[in-house]
Amino acid sequence: MSSDPAPVVVCITSSPTERARLAGQFDGTGILVLAPDAGAAGSFLRHLAGTGTGLAAVPARVAPAADEVVQVGGLALDLPRHEATWRGHGLPLTQYEFKVLSCLAGRPGQVWTYEQLHERAWGGTYFAGPAAVQSVIKRLRGKLRAAGASVTIRATRGVGFRLDGGPELTLVREAHR
């Protein structure tokens, strides 16, 4: 019997379908942690470390990695701390507003469908229609406007929404015509 500790594989994705796929891919590898976000993974690992499983203690507060802070112009989203700021001033967002905005800001300019935004924010299957997503977008637009933000949320009729970085984002490459 080997005394080597079992490897710990941590996979983070908000998609239940992707978590199921990863579970099959890493089956039998060791300890597999599937979490919807970094906060949930850290919380579980701290709990696991406290149960005497042989895992080293996970620090209670870990500084976010560079990719855990999403920035679009003056908009900054600190994912582990669930904090949003515009030019250093806090934006009071609900958990759903934060999740939707983090999707949009993660890939500015990309159109996110109602289904994708719903799955990421509510973590479940899209079934209720676009009303919940539209409500969150309406509140987000109001909060960004009140903060004087130059980033805006644009609609693609019948499809979904995208984040427009305004004049602070530059065109990387022109579209081929």
CATH of the domain at 85: 1.10.10.10
- In this structure, is residue 175 part of a structural domain? no
Note the Cα 79 to chain centre separation in Å.
7
The pLDDT > 90 percentage for the chain reads 34
Domain identity same for 5 and 54? yes
3-state secondary structure of 70: strand
Look at residue 173 and tell me if it is in a domain: no
Structural domains in the chain (count): 2
Closest CA to 97 of 148, 146, 132, 131: 132
Q: Are 72 and 122 in a shared domain?
A: yes
Do 147 and 108 lie in a common domain? yes
pLDDT (tens digit per residue) in 106-131 = 888 899 999 899 888 888 766 667 88
pLDDT of 71 strictly over 50? yes
Domain that holds residue 21: 1-62
Residues in the chain: 177
Rounded to whole angstroms, the Cα distance separating 129 from 3 reads 52
Instruction: Select the highest-mean-pLDDT range: 16-25, 36-45, 149-158.
Output: 149-158
